[in-house]
Amino acid sequence: MKQILKQLIIIAITLIISYSAYSQKQNFELIKNTNIFNSILKELSLFYVDSIDAEKIITNGINSMLYSLDPYTTYIPKKEEDDLKFMTTGEYAGVGALISKRDSLIQITSIYEGNPAHKDGMKVGDRILEINGESMVGKSNDFVSDHLRGKANSLAIIKVKRPTVDSIVTLNVTRKKIYIPAVSYYGVTQNDIGYIYISSFNTNTASEVKEALLDLKKNHNIRSLVLDLRGNPGGLLNEAIGVINLFVPKGKTILETRGRLKELENTYKTSQKPIDAEIPIAVLINEESASASEIVAGAMQDLDRAVIVGNRSYGKGLVQSTRSLPYEGTLKITTAKYYIPSGRLIQAIDYSNRNEDGTTTRIPDSLTTEFKTAAGRIVRDGGGITPDVTYEYPKQSNILYYLTIDYHIFDFATRYVAEHPTIASATKFKLTDEEYNQFKEELKAKNFTYDRESLKLLNKLRELAKFEGYLEDAEETINSLEKLLEHNIDKDLENFKEEIKSELEMEIIERYYYKKGLMSRGVEEDKCIGKAIEILKNPTQYKQILSPKDR
């Protein structure tokens, strides 16, 4: 026993000495490279041929350093603290409008109902010329966004070019605190099926979902529920736990976080009595559902509490915390990985093992590991949440893509709104054939054309035939095929009429009824929601999906 004890003491001392040496080496490397960086910066400031912008060059260096670790570890200087606050609370001070650059001007693309832009007369389609006397012509999205934001109750005098009138319009818009709800819309479909769309996980998400759920149960007597997380980029981990707790009994393990430091390791369990632990649920996800969204979808799947419908999620299994820096800056740093109830990590990219050129790739399916849900169903790690039922979205037609990115649909809606003070309700509004024909005539007047993939491939074929010496023999055939593939705008606009009309209607509906109206119409027409409803209306199918398959 004495001999064994002596050996253990020797091993312990060796480990301590080794760790101490490693720690000293790490500290030396840190000090050495910090000194090198400071020396380079000093030499540049003294001897570089032109004067340097120290803040810009250092910020670029910091951002490059952090990005080499992962895309989520970022430096947030004091001037960008409003963005951090918005991400965590859904709140900022401004006018309440979305913008995008169009040619040399910034254009209003969407307005939040009930906020200053709405109340003080801004219109979707307005192009911003000046804010408080300063020209916005040729400025970037970020530049104009910074000028639209400001202290609550401050005045923004905004000059805009309104496409539907000849004169320049001056608007006096009083900035207010803008809050973007996490629950963008909720309602009832198919008589007794509730629907809740969660756009983000901020400080109020769980309470907003709870409020919506209680209203749907009390006033609409719902018997099942669709939780829509498509396009939700995530947010606060605790809010995700809170949403799950509405449907899962108290005391269930939802998540474990594991980091390099022991104090960053935590186990998260449901701590409250649920609102409804029995109601059938379908959770919708897609490739843009990430982070906290994946915690909700993954935990509900691992606990066999909901059927997951849609497409495989993004695959972000990393946890970020914030650390204060000098001069009121903030470091958002990845401190842990999270593991959902089955024990799986859904992180799709291992940033610590990059390719030789520095690029990253998703973990291939062949290298993922099987785990089991509470009921024994097989699930896998390493690549987001794979839905129980996959929904393949129809591919958007090429002509609709160009009608959208070239603003033809946007501009038609702008003119339509100027000519029609009111329209039918969001769920009943339809464009007439006469109005659709008017849209077609406008496109012809503009000589609208668009790239067709078939012609691109044909031109590529002509180039290859010329390179290989076959063009002379094949040219007549290629020319004949080209004539068959020539644009026929009338034919294309009729072939894709229903798809284009639907997009026009949705754009117009949002102008009158804002986000809620758009969502209420979308719920009725969305085929993925329809698939979820189909499953919820069939208890046998719902139960089969949540039961283990024989292998």
Using the structure block, give the residue that is written with the tokens 């990005």.
Answer: 67
Maximum distance among all alpha carbons in the chain? 98
The residue type at 451? D
Q: pLDDT by residue for the chain (551 residues), tens digit each?
A: 556 555 555 555 555 555 555 556 667 778 888 888 888 888 888 888 888 888 888 888 889 989 989 999 999 888 787 777 777 787 889 999 999 999 999 999 999 999 999 999 999 999 999 999 999 999 999 999 999 999 999 999 999 999 999 889 999 999 999 999 999 999 999 889 999 999 999 999 999 999 999 999 999 999 999 999 999 999 999 999 999 999 999 999 999 999 988 887 899 999 999 999 999 999 999 999 999 999 999 999 999 999 999 999 999 999 998 899 888 889 999 999 999 999 999 999 988 888 877 788 888 887 889 999 999 999 999 889 999 999 998 888 889 999 999 999 999 999 999 999 999 999 999 999 999 999 999 998 888 887 766 666 767 877 887 777 777 777 777 777 766 656 678 888 999 999 999 999 999 999 999 999 999 999 989 999 999 999 999 999 999 999 998 65
pLDDT of residue 492: 87
pLDDT of residue 523: 93
pLDDT, tens digit, 9 for 90 and up, residues 349-407: 988 888 877 788 888 887 889 999 999 999 999 889 999 999 998 888 889 999 999 99
pLDDT of residue 482: 65
Q: What number of helices (H) and strands (E) belong to the chain?
A: 17, 21
| Three-state SS at 270 | coil
Starting at the earlier edge strand, list the strands of the sheet with 281-285.
Answer: 183-189, 193-198, 224-228, 281-285, 307-310, 389-390
| β partners of residue 379 | 371
9 φ/ψ angles, rounded to the nearest 5 degrees: -65, -40
The residue type at 379? V
Q: Of 291, 293, 313, 520, which residue is the catalytic one?
A: 291
Active site residue 302: yes
Q: Of 316, 342, 388, 515, which residue is the catalytic one?
A: 316
Report which of 410, 408, 405 is spatially closest to residue 125, judged by C-alpha positions: 410
CA trace torsion 288, 291, 293, 296 (10° rounding): 150
Structure tokens at 273: 């009595």
* CB-CB neighbours of 238 under 10 Å: 13
Are 127 and 163 in contact, with CB atoms under 8 Å apart? yes
Active site residue 139: no
d(CA 412, CA 408): 6
Active site residue 490: no
